[in-house]
Amino acid sequence: MSIFDKCFAFTRAEEAQQLGLYPYFTPIQEVRGNKVMIDGQEVIMVGSNNYLGLLDHPQVKQAAKDAIDRYGAATCGSRFLNGTLDIHVQLEKRLAEFMQTEAAVTFSTGFQTNQGIITTLVGRGDAVITDRMDHASIIDACRLSYGEVHTFHHNDMDDLKRVLSSLDEGIDKLIVVDGVFSMEGDLTNLPGVVELGKAYNCQILVDDAHGLGVMGINGRGTAEHFGLEDQIDLVMGTFSKSFASLGGFVVGGAKVISYIKHHSRALIFSASITPASVATALATLDLIEKEPERRERLWAITDKMRSGFQAMGYDTGPTQSPVIPVMVGDDAKTFMLWKALRKQGVFTNPVVYPAVPHGQALIRTSYSATHTDEELDTVLACFEASGKALGILS
Ligand SMILES: Cc1ncc(COP(=O)(O)O)c(C=O)c1O
């Protein structure tokens, strides 16, 4: 017996590769706006989280290049010691202002941000309560924390109430929810979460990775969308989506952010965000603030695609965001649909268990403000042709 036995027994990836049905780790050779080159073929990207289309904005690319010229390629250290640049501090100040909160702190990824917040705040004797469909980074962070971990059925407020009412009144409690759920694109029932959170004396953390820049009139996310910004204690975001960069952050009250800064192992024991990525986030934040028309276009695209899929007979599930799933159910059919789309020049993401429950496999599509109507019409036509050819559509 060896610790590696499981690795030798794992053959599913090779089997899928042999069948030409392996969709992961695909090397992209070049990015041309919303088209990417794969194996020499130009493919329309509808599988990226580049919601505002800022990935290749000239101003954004120039800011990254200038930052490398000024600060070098990396920071070679943690924020705590030698890895704080003036632009990290500037970015945190700008984020706190944008989100209308007292303070912000940045981490090197969104994944680390959730780890940094939750393991730092939820200690022995505390409880953390999560939606079962929360992102993997939240689930892992809860496992790593020393607190009790409780989950409630997805967006089910009766179940949240059941969990909260089962806990000791004296326990300190943190509820953590995704603002926009990343696979099916539905929103958390934030009014319900806030009502119960207040009734049971909990603090609330919203992971708004997919909501920031997208939801709310000013792009401040899911809490702005619901008019509940003053009711939420902490909002975390990532730069890997609307901000077209790499890194994450959390905003909230100054004392809480300072505590996280001085206790979070994910922050203190890891190198800080690279200069190019910080400069990118600053440049995209400028554009998020100055160009609300990007958000308007994104929502027009979202409506067009959702109604386009539905008119063909596809089930788009509970989506309320630019993440639009095409529900297939069966894993094999999902991979076949993914492959047919790829052949026709459309990049999508097939999503199977454990990212979604068993039997609820789907093709995840997501859109950018810069997609053209011509690109979108091509995507819809390919979905219709492939769905009919595979017997998914009648
Ligand atoms: C809801 C949610 N939270 C956190 C993360 C982690 O963000 P990052 O990609 O910056 O590590 C993601 C990204 O997949 C996400 O979808």
Instruction: Give residue-wise pLDDT tens across range 152-199.
Output: 999 999 999 999 999 999 999 999 999 999 999 999 999 999 999 999
Distance, CA 111 to ligand 1 centroid (Å)? 6
Q: What are the helix (H) ranges across 230-363?
A: 254-263, 265-268, 275-290, 293-312, 331-343
Pocket test for ligand 1, best of 135, 236, 245, 321 (most atoms within 8 A of CB): 135
State the distance from the centre of ligand 1 to the C-alpha of 389, rounded, in angstroms. Answer: 34
Residue 241 annotated among the catalytic residues of the structure: yes
Write down the pLDDT at residue 26: 95
Query: What's residue 394's pLDDT?
Result: 87
How many angstroms is it from 382 CA to the middle of ligand 1? 29
Ligand 1 pocket check: which of 108, 240, 246 to mutate, most ligand atoms within 8 Å of Cβ?
A: 240
Q: Does residue 237 line the site of ligand 1, with CB under 6 A?
A: no
Compute how many other C-beta atoms are within 10 angstroms of the C-beta atom of residue 74.
Answer: 14
pLDDT attached to residue 354 = 87
Clarify whether 182 is annotated catalytic.
Answer: yes
Q: Is the CB of 261 under 6 A from ligand 1?
A: no
Number of H helices, E strands in the chain: 15, 14
Residue 72: both structure tokens together: 């070098």
Per-residue pLDDT of the chain (394 residues; tens, 9 = 90+): 999 999 999 999 999 999 988 999 999 999 999 999 999 999 999 999 999 999 999 999 999 999 999 999 999 999 999 999 999 999 999 999 999 999 999 999 999 999 999 999 999 999 999 999 999 999 999 999 999 999 999 999 999 999 999 999 999 999 999 999 999 999 999 999 999 999 999 999 999 999 999 999 999 999 999 999 999 999 999 999 999 999 999 999 999 999 999 999 999 999 999 999 999 999 999 999 999 999 999 999 999 999 999 999 999 999 999 999 999 999 999 999 999 999 999 999 999 998 888 999 999 999 999 999 999 999 999 999 999 999 999 8
34 lines ligand 1 (CB under 6 A): no
Q: Is the CB of 113 under 6 A from ligand 1?
A: no
- 247 close to 278: Cβ distance less than 8 angstroms: yes
Residue 178 CB–ligand 1 contact under 6 Å: yes
Residues 269-327 pLDDT 10s: 999 999 999 999 999 999 999 999 999 999 999 999 999 999 999 999 999 999 999 99
The residue extents of the domains of the chain are 9-45+292-389, 58-290
CA 8–ligand 1 middle distance (angstroms): 30
| Rounded Cα distance, 230 and 40, in Å | 50
Burial class (CB in 10 A: 0-12, 13-18, 19+), 166: exposed
Q: Tell me how far apart the alpha carbons of residues 55 and 44 are, in angstroms, rounded to a whole number.
A: 15
The closest residue, in CA terms, to atom 10 on ligand 1 is 110
Going through the chain in order, the beta strands assigned E by DSSP cover 30-32, 35-38, 41-45, 103-107, 127-131, 148-152, 173-178, 202-207, 234-238, 248-252, 323-329, 346-347, 349-351, 361-366
Annotated catalytic residue within 88, 150, 210, 225? 210
CB-facing half-sphere around the CA of 326: CA atoms within 13 A: 32
Q: How far is the centre of ligand 1, averaged over its atoms, from the C-alpha of 105 (Å)?
A: 16
Phi then psi for 202, rounded to 5 degrees? -110, 155
Per the document, the length of the chain is 394
CATH no. of 58-290: 3.40.640.10
Q: What is the dihedral of CA 228, 233, 238, 242, to 10 degrees?
A: 20
Residue 110 and residue 137: Cα distance in Å, rounded? 8
Query: How is 183-223 classified by DSSP, letter by letter?
Result: TT-PBP-HHHHHHHHHHTTEEEEEE-TTTTTTSSTTS--HH
The residue annotated as part of the active site, out of 88, 135, 173, 241, is: 241
Global model pTM greater than 0.95: yes
DSSP string covering 237-248 = EESSSTT-SS-E
C-beta separation of 177 from 189 below 8 A: no
37: helix, coil or strand? strand
CA geometry: angle at 84 spanning 73 and 174, to 5°? 115
Expressed in angstroms and rounded, the spacing between residue 273 Cα and the centre of ligand 1 is: 15
Amino acid identity, position 86:
D
Strand partners, 127: 148, 173
Highest CATH level, class, for 9-45+292-389: alpha beta
